[in-house]
Amino acid sequence: MLDWLARLGRPVIHLLAALGRSVIFLFQSLAGWPRSYKAVQLWMRQVYSVGVLSLIIILVSGLFIGMVLALQGYTILVDFGAEQALGQMVALSLTRELAPVVAALLFAGRAGSALTAEIGLMKATEQLSSMEMIGVDPLKRIVAPRLLAGFFALPLLSIIFTMIGIGGGWLVGVDWLGVDAGAFWSNMQASVDFQADVLNGFIKSLVFAWVVTWIAVFQGYDLVPTSEGISRATTKTVVYSSLAVLGLDFILTALMFSNL
């Protein structure tokens, strides 16, 4: 009986300890981050590798998701003779839900796993230790710019995703299936509210950016410095951040849209 309780308790304790470590980690990295030109340069380099390099996958997926959305939506809406509402449907599903969530999932797979592997490799090859011994805090030099770059890049990627997705929807709906272009845009503009839809979607992606980057960088910093440890941590990053994004998405949606 006691054994059984212990087996139940151990993972909970481990989980709580990891959570605690990760919160301390976040504060230690970001507290007093220097606002010098050099720090900005370091941050920019990370925005490049986390944001700009994820742009291709975001653009391509956004385009295809917008196109599929229009195609699927059209076949349903045309039954009700409501294909005029296609623009509204595409825009609403993208801004409210699909763009923040799918962009965050892609970001976790593309940039998050790379962050984990990169920091993990630096740990395994003693680069973090040696930086510490040189008297440079790796939390400030390595971790903080990556965290801040991730927080910044994902919301931007997500809004680009929305734009390109609507573009894809327009391509299929108007150009291919022949929905009236005027109706497409005016229905969209009448139903999409800047505050309720665009801003709320943006807030969602801000939250996801924090969570995904935090998980990725912490997993890299906290891993067991072996090749097996790195591969496990990379997997964990993708799994945990996907689950966190989907779970948080439900909570945020409930908070934002339920009383509309």
Partner 1 sequence: MQNQRRMEVAVGAFMLLGVLALVFMALKVSGLAWETSNKTFQVEAYFGDIGGLKERSKVTLAGVTVGRVARIELDQQWFEARVLLELDESLQGKLSKDTAAAIQTAGLLGDNYISLTPGIEEATLAAGDTLRDTQSALILEDLINQFITRSTQD
Partner 2 sequence: MSEDVAVVDNLHFSRGDKVIFSGVNLRLQPGRITAVLGPSGTGKTTLLRLLGGQLQPDQGSVRVFGQEVSRLDRKKLFALRRRMGMLFQSGALFTDMNVYDNVAFPLREHTHLPESLLRDLVLLKLEAVGLRGARDLMPAQLSGGMTRRVALARAIALDPELLMYDEPFVGQDPISMGVLVQLIKRLNQALGLTSVIVSHDIAETLSIADYAYILSGGQVIAEGTPQQLEASEQAEVHQFVAGLPDGPVPFHYPAKGLEQDLLGGGDA
Please list every residue from 226 through 255 that binds partner 2, using CB under 8 A: none
Cα dihedral 67, 100, 146, 215, rounded to 10, equals -120
137 binds partner 2 (CB under 8 A): yes
Cβ closer to partner 1: 88 or 242? 88
DSSP count for the chain of H helices, then E strands: 12, 0
Pick the stretch among 31-39, 49-57, 66-74, 111-119 that binds partner 1 (CB under 8 A). Answer: 49-57
**Closest to partner 2 by CB, 129 or 227:** 129
Query: Total residues contacting partner 2 (rule CB under 8 A)?
Result: 15
End-to-end alpha carbon distance in the chain: 50
Residue among 41, 72, 129, 227 that touches partner 2 (CB under 8 A) = 129
Could you identify the residue written with the tokens 């380099």?
45
Nearest to 29 by CA among 205, 210, 240: 210
Question: Does residue number 190 form part of the binding site for partner 1 (CB under 8 A)?
Answer: yes
- Closest listed residue to residue 204, CA positions, set 173, 149, 246, 145: 246
Q: How far is the CB of 182 from partner 2 (least distance, A)?
A: 52
For tokens 């067991």, the residue is 224
Instruction: Please give the distance of CA 137 from its chain centroid, rounded to a whole number.
Output: 27
C-alpha 102/C-alpha 205 separation (Å) is 10
Least distance between partner 1 and beta carbon 243 (Å): 27
Q: How far is CA 68 from the centre of its chain?
A: 21
Tell whether residue 132 is a contact of partner 2 (CB under 8 A): yes
Q: How far is the CB of 58 from partner 2 (least distance, A)?
A: 24
Q: Report DSSP state, residue 51.
A: T
Of 125, 226, 227, 235, the residue at the interface with partner 2 (CB under 8 A) is 125
3-state secondary structure of 144: helix
Among 53, 57, 131, 203, binds partner 2 (CB under 8 A): 131
**55: contact with partner 1 by CB under 8 A:** yes
User: Closer CB to partner 1, residue 132 or residue 185?
Assistant: 185
- Distance of closest approach, residue 140 Cβ to partner 2, in angstroms: 10
**In the block, which residue shows the tokens 């965290």?**
147
Q: With residue 4 as reference, give the H or E element that holds it.
A: helix 2-30
48: partner contacted, choices partner 1, partner 2, none (Cβ within 5-8 A by kind): partner 1
Degrees (nearest 5) of the Cα angle 61, 67, 73? 130
Site residues, partner 1 (CB under 8 A): 41, 44-45, 47-48, 51-52, 55, 91, 95, 153, 155-157, 159-160, 162-163, 166, 185, 188-190, 192-194, 197-198
Q: List residues near partner 2 by CB under 8 A.
A: 121-122, 125-127, 129-137, 141
